[in-house]
A and B are shown apart, each in its own frame.
Chain A
Amino acid sequence: MSEAISALAGANNPNGFAAVAELGLHGMITVRGDQADAGFAKAVCTVAGVEALPEVRKCVGTLEGGVAWMSPDELMVFVPYSLVVEKLEELNAALDGSHFLAVNVSDARAVFGITGPKAREVIAKLAPVDLSPEAFGVGDLRRTRLAQIAAAFWMNSEDSFRLVCFRSVAEYAYNLLAMSASAGSEVDYF
């Protein structure tokens, strides 16, 4: 097997008022099912290594092991890229016999990190979301639009965001994020 390459092979721009970087390949499993079902929740949590499923518009854990709320019947499970096939099989086995869908979308996505004290502003230029500290904190997630593309993002720590979009538009997303973070364009609002 050849070496797997992410959409932008780790492109990054540290020169703006927030650093923007493509974070390489991450294991991602789209899981659809009944989040109220204890068995379903347990299986997903086990695979992701988290205690409980995230609440609405939240993300728990990390890219190496975490779960993001995507819709009332959809979750995104994060696992290390090297383990995604294995973890998917684990999940399929655990949920066998119930009605659910689990599918590997690791290669269908690009993952970005936006980091810096004013990282909020980078996203607030592109997404119709209230990114004020009162409204959006660590663990908060939105599945929304980033200018003209679909994207999901969450705050993984103070001053740091993770953002996921489709792989095919990774370049567009990267260029937008880098431009929005360019020095001299600080909004100084939050």
Chain B
Amino acid sequence: MSTRLSKGGRLVDTSSTVAFQFNGKTLTGHAGDTLASALLANDQMLVGRSFKYHRPRGIVASGAEEPNALVNLGQNGKFEPNQRATTTELFDGLSATSQNHWPSLEFDVGAVNQYFTPFLTAGFYYKMFMHPRPLWKHVYEPFIRQSAGLGKAPKEKDADRYEHFYAYVDVTVIGGGVAGLQAALAAGEAGAKVLVMEQTAAWGGRAVVDGGTIDGMSAETWVASALARLEEMPNVTLRRRMMGAGVYDHGYLLGYERLTDHAPDQDGPRHRLWRIRTKQIVTATGAIERPISFAGNDIPGVMLASAVRDYAVNYGVAVGKRTVVVTNNDDGYRTAIAMVEAGQEVPAIIDARGQGAGDLGEKARKLGIRVALGMAISKVKGGKRVEGVELCRMEGNGGAILETIKCDAVAMSGGWSPVVHLWSHCGGKLLWDEVENHFKPDATRAPTGADGKPFVLTAGSASGPLGLGDVLADADAAGKMAAEAAGYAPATTPAPAGDARDENQMKPVWMMPANPVYELRMKMWLDYQNDVKVSDVQLAAREGFESVEHTKRYTTLGMATDQGKLSNINGLAVLADSLGEKIPQVGTTTFRPPYTPISMGAIGGAARDDVFQPIRKTPIQQWHEDQGAYMEPVGQWRRPYTFPRGNESHAQAVSREITNTRTNVGLLDASTLGKIIVKGPDAGKFLDLLYTNMMSTLKPGKCRYGLMCNENGFLMDDGVVARLDEETFLVHTTSGGAAHTHAHMEEWLQTEWWDFKVYTADVTEQYAQIAVVGPKARMVLEKLGGMDVSKAALGFMDWTQGKLGGFDARIFRISFSGELSYEIAVPASQGRAFWDALMAAGEEFGMMPYGTECLHVMRAEKGFIMIGDETDGTVIPQDLGLHWAISKKKEDFIGKRGQQRTFLASEERWQLVGLETVDGSVLPDGAYAVVHGHNENGQRNMIGRVTSTYYSPTLGRGIAMGLIKHGPQRMGELVEFGKVDGTTVMAKIVDPVWYDKEGEKQNV
């Protein structure tokens, strides 16, 4: 059983008591504990059930590499699944539940799956659930979803907030162990601006657990002095609880800082995502110990040897009273020694090697620890916890059990793999080390920046060396190199002296024993989280999966939330063995960011609730909202769709607004309309190229409607251009198109027509623009007074400026409704006051505000096109019968050549017509005009579609616009349209101008 020791625990405050809950049970730990160490201190060996077989699982590791101890953490708005107990700091009131069990952790029905293990092999799902196909959706998938899976999805809105932070540094050091600290010292002393991040709450990494001396000091003392020196450097920033999550091109690095995970009641954001631009990155990320593949290596109580001593030294927790150590290298002996020194029993060190260990072996023997050389664990005995191990010879098949040792924990050490993830994210290559049997960074093939030079360096055991002296020398060199590459002159002080490593060579053990029988292989876990065993990888190899990337996907090896931190090397070694290849020939899978999962909240940062996205507001927005207007998105604006009164439906409100505008007067907030000033001696020439029609001939004081196409000839934007003076034009764009049109102008001016003397400025938001529309519009303006708005003084398509009712006004006599209409621009800061003045002046004339839907219906009644309705990026002006707006005199304009291409010039294109249903109903939006027969996809043949469709209160019937093949030649003919319910409706092709075709009403 696991228990708290009476002494030890350098990270915990044994005088404190922290209460927490696990599966509803109240337990206690100490400040400084992780959830994992606190669970172990309470003898909670069983912490979860496995993904596929629902096997009992316990804590395996002590850090970010943990595959098993995933919990649902927190409640309600602070609930989060798949949190690693090993990286969760304990706090008072913490509440965690284990995952993937039903009905309880202790008794799990799904565990019957393990008795079907022979059937649930690699690729089982692919093979089994392929046929018959309909069963997948209705039977297999729901069943699998119920029985497999990890944590639950949160049900409530996240109660926390998150943020980003941009930082620019010379050298970023990732990892706060002795290597990271020494690299930071070397770079910091050179004068570089250094940021050091450590993913845990404690500095020092492994060295402080494993001991050793640096410059004559204990590792712990050296770490304290290094930190003190770094803290004194103004150019060095130290951050704990911050992980290097991902390395990207050009020295872009993501740092994931967990601010309040350990103190959820603290103010401020929970996580901060640092978006760092750094000249150099030093990854001092250490190494991760590998498990050994022996049968039953997933039973709770089987742990990494390094984790066992981490728990003893850092947290004062003994994982077992009787711990068997199984190893293929000298380092495993450290655990045996640590446990004995902590007063626990170690019945034996099982060393797969014949020769045993060097100095550490001697030390173990002196402590009286039995060492069994050339031996192996054949099988771990136990279910929910370890009960013992059966031993056999390493060079055998495990059939002959030589001895059984009773124990309650197994500490395994399969050698060390450098953490090469961050090195690899941006293309750093790896080398296979034949001595240590691990992949290590190949410094000659580093990730390179824009200058072709390396921008990532590795330091310490992340580079490969495992001895303290080598680690410090490597880290010192990395820090100096990074500083130099960042433009600083490193000092010539030597690296601190650390202990030399005097260890015997490790022996690669990819299966234990060497040639196990099948029954053992199918109990040897490689990937704990995804339940992948040695036998699965071997099966994949037999079935022809030669590529490691394919094997990964077929078996799901390394695809869980831990991304195979423990399983990858063991898995690919088994694959290489099965394929008869060498490990480096098989290679690794691709390392991708993030290093460990980061929260969705951190990725989103501040962007939630009222700052989820920018909402653009006109100066009159508040009035609309106060009236209870129903708003609709138009680009990033929110515009009133309609202003319902009383119990009116939206349709009733829209009809009322239309009728009132056509009989009295209506008011529209048109402030969102794009407004761009184009000025210069070449402004006319420029606009002639930008628009399909002629603009240079426009006289000052006049307005003209124009069409703008892209290079391919497709219609992009439309609007009214007003000439302000000889050199200056005011271009109106659609509401959603202002920024794009302005960028389009600048693109051409800056890259193609840089010799044109033209300047542009977007003045969209300088003005509040209000349309006063209807037969009584003039009376309202006359009542406000100050300007002559008579037909004689201000005719249709004229503009003028002056003081209207005391406001600085520019009045355009333009109409998008077919009515007498004035669009009046005033400075935005006076917009609301002007709106109020118009409402007051219009009261006696029956003035009502109207929304965008009324605007849409009125323009459709007039047959005016709308960008985004009649156009969708594939429509040219000619499709819309707008030939009149395409100049034939001009030599060129943007889109002209595109429109001459055969397909666009074809007579067969769908063209704009009006549509009236025979029964007066409203056509469904986007409905297709169908004819007999079917196309190759089994759909009805189509000859057109509806682009706009409304109920017209003016006409008392549904009206629509649509694009129909040969439409303009088919006036009066009937076309069949498909409806959503599968039936069809007949509509007659008509002229799209229903209302006042002669334009008498707008020209009064």
Contact = CB atoms under 8 A, between A and B. Distances in A.
B645 interface: no
A169 B616 contact: yes
Contacts of B266: 184
A125 B765 contact: no
A168 B767 contact: no
Contacts of B806: 1-2
Contacts of A135: 168
Contact of A180 (B606, B613, B615, B808): B606
A119 to B, nearest CB: 14
Contacts of A38: none
A157 B611 CA distance: 28
Given A147-B606, A168-B637, A184-B266, A125 B164 contact: yes
Contacts of B764: 108
Interface string B790-818: 00000000000001001110000000000
A81 B488 CA distance: 49
B828 interface: yes
A36 interface: no
B645 to A, nearest CB: 27
Of A25, A100, A184, A187, most buried by chain B (CB within 10 Å of CB) is A187
Contacts of B165: 121, 124-125, 187, 189
Nearest to B161: A179
Interface in B251-310: 266-269, 272, 275, 277
A132 B168 contact: yes
A189 B167 contact: yes
Contacts of B613: 148
Contacts of A130: 166, 168, 277
A101 B168 contact: no
Nearest to A129: B166
A32 B830 contact: no
A167 B761 contact: no
A154 to B, nearest CB: 17
Interface string A138-172: 00000000011100000000000000001111111
Given A32-B759, A101-B680, A185 B269 contact: yes
A137 to B, nearest CB: 15
Nearest to A107: B828
Given A103-B761, A125-B164, A4 B830 contact: yes
Of B269, B637, B764, most buried by chain A (CB within 10 Å of CB) is B269
Given A99-B757, A176-B606, A185-B269, A25 B168 contact: no
A168 B680 CA distance: 28
Contacts of B146: none
B827 A105 contact: no
Nearest to A188: B237
B665 to A, nearest CB: 21
B604 to A, nearest CB: 11
Interface string B744-775: 00000000000001011101111100000000
B680 to A, nearest CB: 6
Nearest to B765: A108
Nearest to B266: A184
Contacts of A104: 766
A127 interface: yes
Interface in A10-40: 25, 30, 32-33
Contact of A149 (B614, B637, B767): B614
A11 to B, nearest CB: 13
A179 B611 contact: yes
Nearest to A184: B267
A151 to B, nearest CB: 11
Nearest to B682: A99
B618 A189 contact: no
Interface string B810-849: 0000000000000000011110111001000000000000
Contact of B827 (A4, A121, A131): A4
B606 A179 contact: yes
Given A101-B680, A107-B829, A168 B606 contact: no
B163 interface: yes
B657 to A, nearest CB: 24
Contacts of A169: 614-617, 636
A107 B759 contact: no
Of A6, A101, A129, A189, most buried by chain B (CB within 10 Å of CB) is A101
B942 interface: no
B617 A168 contact: yes
A73 B760 CA distance: 11
A112 B830 CA distance: 20
A132 B832 CA distance: 41
A117 interface: no
A108 B766 contact: yes
B451 interface: no
A5 B619 CA distance: 9
Nearest to B727: A99
A189 B237 contact: yes
Interface residues of B, number: 55
Interface residues of A, number: 55
Contacts of A186: 268
Given A32-B761, A180-B606, A107 B807 contact: no
A107 B237 contact: no
A56 interface: no
Contact of A101 (B269, B611, B636, B761): B761
Given A125-B164, A176-B606, A185-B268, A103 B616 contact: no
A99 B611 CA distance: 41
B320 to A, nearest CB: 43
A73 B757 CA distance: 12
Given A105-B766, A189-B237, A5 B761 contact: no
A183 interface: yes
A35 B84 CA distance: 59
B677 interface: yes
Contacts of B856: none
Interface in B653-681: 677, 679-681
A172 B615 contact: yes
Contact of A108 (B763, B808, B833): B763
Interface in B582-609: 605-607
Nearest to A123: B166
Of A2, A147, A180, A186, most buried by chain B (CB within 10 Å of CB) is A2
B232 interface: no
B70 to A, nearest CB: 29
B330 to A, nearest CB: 42
B829 A185 contact: no
B765 A168 contact: yes
A12 to B, nearest CB: 17
A124 B833 contact: no
Nearest to A170: B617
B830 A187 contact: no
B237 A6 contact: no
A101 B759 contact: yes
Contacts of A32: 759, 761
B610 interface: yes
A62 B660 CA distance: 50
A73 B834 CA distance: 35
Nearest to A165: B614
A95 to B, nearest CB: 12
Contacts of B164: 125-126
Contact of B167 (A100, A124, A179, A180): A124
Given A124-B166, A130-B168, A172-B615, 10 more contacts: A2-B807, A7-B619, A99-B759, A105-B763, A107-B767, A108-B763, A166-B765, A170-B617, A179-B606, A180-B163
The 4 A-B pairs at the shortest CB distance, nearest first, are namely A184-B267, A184-B268, A4-B829, A2-B833
26 contacts: A2-B806, A3-B833, A4-B827, A4-B830, A5-B833, A32-B761, A99-B759, A101-B761, A105-B763, A108-B766, A128-B166, A128-B275, A132-B193, A147-B611, A148-B614, A167-B619, A169-B615, A169-B616, A175-B611, A179-B161, A180-B163, A180-B606, A182-B267, A185-B268, A186-B268, A189-B167
